[in-house]
Structures are given as C-alpha cells and as structure tokens.
Chains A and B, each alone.
Chain A
Amino acid sequence: MNQDVFVSIEHLRGQVTDLSYGMLAAARQVAAEAGGEVVAVLLGHTGQHLAQGLAADRVLSIDHPALADFTSEAYIQAWSYLLREYNPRLALFGDTSIGADVAGGLSIRMGLPLVSACQVLLVENGELLFRSQICGGKIMAQGKLPPTTALVTMVPGGYRAEEARGEEPSEIISLEAPPLEDLSVRLKEYIEPEISDVDITKENVLVAVGRGIQNQDGIELVQELAEAIGGVVCASRPVIDQGWLPITRLVGKSGGQVKPVVYLALGISGAPEHVEGIVNSQVIIAVNTDLAAPIFNVAKYGLTCDLFDLVPILVDKIRLSRSIQV
C-alpha cells in the first residue's frame, strides 16, 4: 500500500461536479501532509477532455462504452480492478447518487473499510482521521481511518472547489478497461426536468419552506409573502415529496444551488442536504421554533417565533411599507 489518494471524478452530462473538485482539494491537503500522490480517476467513454482542469498529480482514465454513463455495476467492476492494481491509501467518492451506489459494494467485495458523510479529512501525528457530519447536521463523528486502503464518501462543505480547479494534471494515463460484462444495470435514457416553471437559481429573493409548513394551506400563506416581497417560493425535500410544490422548486443536494440576496427559511431545520444548496446566499434569515436547529449555524439572522404567527403580520407590514414608498 502506498500513500496515494485516489479521487473518483463524478461527471454528468459532460460536466464534472463541484464535489469532485472539492474531493481533489481534500486529497491535495492530505497528500501534502501525509505524502503520496493525488490520482484522479476518470471513468467514461470519449470523455478524456474532462481530465483538463483537474488539479491532480495523475489522471487514470478508463474509456469503455459500458462506462459512457454511470451505472453502479460497471463502475464497481472498474474500481475493483483499480484498487487491486494500485492499492492506494484512500479512495474518495462523492456521498451522492453516483458515489454512494459504488462505495458500499466495493467495501463488501474487497473487504475494505468504509466511512461515509465525511466532511473533512485530517492528518494528526502521521495518522489519517475522518470527520463526518451525521444526524441532520447535529452531530460530528471523528476517528482514525484504519491502516489499510480506506474508502471514504464525502459531502460538500469541507473544501472549496476553486482550490482544485484550473490547474492541469501532470499526467493523463489511459488504462485498458478490465472486462465489464454481465452487467445487470443499463441506462435507458435521461429525463430532464421541465423548465416551464421559474428558475430558482436565478432569483434574488427566495422564501423557502420546510417541514414546518405542515400542509398545503401553509404554502398559500407563504405565497402571499413571496408576492409581497417580490420573491419566489422554494422548498426543502419533505415539502416536494408531499407534492405541495413541483420539483423545480427544490433547493439542496438533489435540487437547485441558489444564490439569492435574501433566503428566508421558514420552518426549515437546516439539514446538510438542504444547506448544500443555500451556502451561496448573501443573507439567510431563518425562522424555526427549535433553537437547536442547524439552520441557525448558517443564518445571519434568526427568529424562534411561530411562522404562522409571523408571516401574516410580516406580509401586512411589507405591503404597508411598499405603499408608503409609492
């Protein structure tokens, strides 16, 4: 086993994900302190151009039609081959719809330890540590990574993508694919979201609702506030799953990354999957009756009053304020 850090480069529809750059940044920091090289792993088909701008010491590229689009089985088979051949210290995957489908299978197949939800990797006294964020962002769990090839799935937030973007890798090595056969998972097609609704990623004022909105009637109340304020309503996952708002209004890990001037979060706890989508907001104002809600860690202003008491009064005052201005 060497000290190299392998990084799974996630790409969708021809774009490398931000998290991939974040993981490269993590790898660079670990390698700088613990020794070893940063190796970006690019699996795909006719997609070698994606290797450009990856700040790694080496890129290992495997090109095969079965890897053209992500499917769990093909990726697991390719990675099994790589881990056996190269025996790195760490292999970093996104804690995502791509990485999480692969890491667990590799852990069992290859008998390697796996830690998930990792936000930061640390080097202390020559030992590698993981620090993971669990329980809706309320708990951090930290420990040593076992002294064998370790698999890590990473969440955003610990590193800045910019730190690993733009430089050219020192070397791009094309590897021949191992046999990728008897695959039981096949991509049929992608389905793009309808763009008939607003694009929340371009809005300057967002009024967001979470579980605290309780039901569809609550949405109408918030809609009034959004109109009064000149903004648009968006939501966290539970609201979308209930069908109270369309998926185009989803903010977070599976939804949109927003960058408004004001993000007014009503009844949102601030779980990591949601916070991922709002970190580029200029000002976050959070209303939640739970003072311990993680949303208050990222908000600039907070209130613990009941949103159903607050919103009607706020709507009236904003309307009054606007009419006075005119």
Chain B
Amino acid sequence: MKIVVLIKMVPDLVEELSISPSGIELDTTWLRLKINEFDDHAIEQAILLKEQYGGEVTVLAPEMEGVDDALFTAAAKGADRLIQLSGKFDNSWNNHALARAFLPLAQELQPDLVLTGVQAHNDLDGSLGPLVAALMGLPYVGYVAGVTVSDGVATIRKEYPAGLLAEMEVILPAVLGIQAAEQPPRYVAFSKVRQSMKTTTLDERPAGESDPQGGVTVEHMFQPETGEGATMLEGDLTQVTDKLVSILHELDVI
C-alpha cells in the first residue's frame, strides 16, 4: 500500500507571537516553527498502517525552518521516502497555494491513501486536506481517528462532538484528514533521528510560484481584546491558596 503524508510547520504557540509592523501578518523575526501537531498524528497513523499492511510511506513537506528535523524524525519512525518542496514559503503561501504545489508530486506517487492533519492552527483559507483531495479528484473525510484498510476500501472512524463516532467506508484512493492516530505519536531517540539523516535521502523538488487563488487577503491582524480579563491572584503560595479557598467558600463549593 502506498501512503503519502503531507506535513507542514506552523508557529510554535508556546512562544509569544507578535504582529509585524505591516499590521497584516505575523512577525517572523523570532518566530519559532514546529510540526503541525495533527500532521504528526498523520505520520503516526501512516506508520501504523505500514506496520499492519506493509507498503511504503512517503512524507512531503514545504521547505520551512525546522522541516529537516521533522522529516528525518518521520524517517526514524519508519517513513521510507522524504521529499521537500524547495522555495521561499512566505506569507503569500496559503493552503490553496500549498495544495497546488503538492499536487503534481502527490499525483506522481500514485498513492492509495493521502494522510494529512485535519487542520492547523494558522489555517485561514480552510485546511489542506480537502483542497488537495478536490485537486486530485479524490474523496475526502476529515476528523478521522482510526483507519483500517481492506480490499481497496478504508474503514474509518470520524469524530463528531460529545464522543460520537461515525464509522464510514471510503473507496481508495482517498485523502483523510487525521484528528488523532490510533496511538499518540511515538517517541524516537535523537540518536535514531541522527542515524536516519545518514541513511535516508531527502529529495528536493522545486515548489514553483505560489498560486494562492481561493484564499483571502488579511488587511488587519491583531491580538484579541482581552475584555476585562482575569483578576490575577498575587502573592506567595500560602497567600494565593488562602485566596482560592476563600473564593471556593464564597461560591458554596466547600
């Protein structure tokens, strides 16, 4: 079975985000990127499927800061091929542009399954999966937490609110937006990642020009008003815990 995983890097939210002087985009000076968490789940799900059914996993990513690490980590987990789209992925690249850039490569690989994270927190023009699926003329199901494959059909579990699941059958080839892999993304020791840097080739293909048609233009980016915000309880641990206990008393909780 041939599986292609599409991943991308996104702003690390642990760091403080700031808006660039232009007022329409994030300031990238100190911006740290990390792999989109749901794409990490997509990699894990792909590896699990390979372990169960055999086949080959190819991971595709745009050239962004830190992507080498993410790709070689995927290889250390069991991905067979790594392909990087080379180019300058600045703010003119939205998901529509990225989907169009992935398209020729994804088609060339003739996958049975394309997996990608169901969404990324910096998505503004919809998530990547449905766009790639439509470009490839393939069916798409998102919010997937669980995949099995048999006779050219994937049986997936789709998540709805309040713990409700829908079990669906999807005729392959298809694109799936992964919400959660069947187990949390596995840990690999950095020594294994270093090892894969020596043994796995990182292929490069040019991304070409960005075609963001279908997205929208941001004219104003800002940090939300915090409204009244929380009353911060100050003091040492003794003082704040006393305050908490008294708040809980007032609310008749204790």
* Distance in Å: Cβ of A214 to nearest Cβ of chain B: 13
Interface membership of A135, Cβ < 8 A:
yes
* Residue in B closest to A132 when the chains form the complex, CB atoms: B124
Is A100 a contact partner of B161 (Cβ separation < 8 A)? Answer: no
Report the Cα distance A102→B133, complex, angstroms: 11
Pick the residue among B118, B165, B220 that contacts A142 (CB under 8 A): B220
CB of B202 closer than 8 Å to a CB of A: no
Which B residues contact A (CB, under 8 angstroms)?
A: 11, 13-14, 16-17, 19, 26, 41, 96, 99, 118-119, 121-127, 129-131, 133-135, 139-143, 155, 157-171, 174, 177, 179-180, 183-184, 213-224, 226-227, 229-233, 237-238, 240-242, 244-245, 247-249, 251-254
Pairwise interchain contact A104-B131, C-beta atoms closer than 8 A:
yes
Give the residue name and chain of the B residue nearest to A286 (CB). Answer: B230
The answer, yes or no, to whether A169 is at the interface (CB within 8 Å) is no
Asked whether A321 lies within 8 Å of B245 as measured between CB atoms, the reply is: yes
- CB <8 Å contact, A297 and B170: no
Q: Which residue of B lies closest to A249 (CB)?
A: B163
Contact B134 A109 (CB under 8 A): yes
In this assembly, does A170 line the interface, its C-beta being within 8 Å of a C-beta of chain B? no
Q: Say yes or no: A255 contacts B230, CB within 8 Å.
A: no
Q: Which 5 A-B pairs rank lowest in CB-CB distance, beginning with the nearest?
A: A104-B130, A193-B163, A302-B230, A108-B134, A299-B230
Give the chain B neighbours of A236 by CB distance below 8 A. Answer: none
Once bound together, how far apart are the Cα atoms of A248 and B162, in whole Å?
8
B contact patch SS: mixed
* 15 A-B pairs (CB sep. < 8 Å): A101-B141, A104-B133, A108-B96, A116-B126, A134-B123, A135-B13, A138-B13, A139-B26, A190-B165, A204-B253, A243-B184, A256-B163, A262-B253, A290-B14, A318-B254
Q: Please indicate which of the listed interface residues B124, B167, B237, B251 has the most CB atoms of chain A within 10 Å of its own CB.
A: B124
What 0/1 readout, one digit per residue, does chain A (162-202) give for beta carbons within 8 Å of chain B? 00000000000000000000001111111111000000000
* Interface contact B216-A104, CB-CB below 8 Å: no
CA of A292 to CA of B232 in the docked complex: distance in angstroms?
Answer: 12
A233 CB-CB contact with B under 8 Å: no
CA distance A188 to B155 in the complex (A): 9
A257 to B231, CA, bound (A): 24
The yes or no answer to A21 lying at the interface (CB within 8 A) is no
Asked whether any CB of chain B lies closer than 8 Å to the CB of A230, the reply is yes
Q: Is the CB of A184 within 8 A of B170?
A: yes
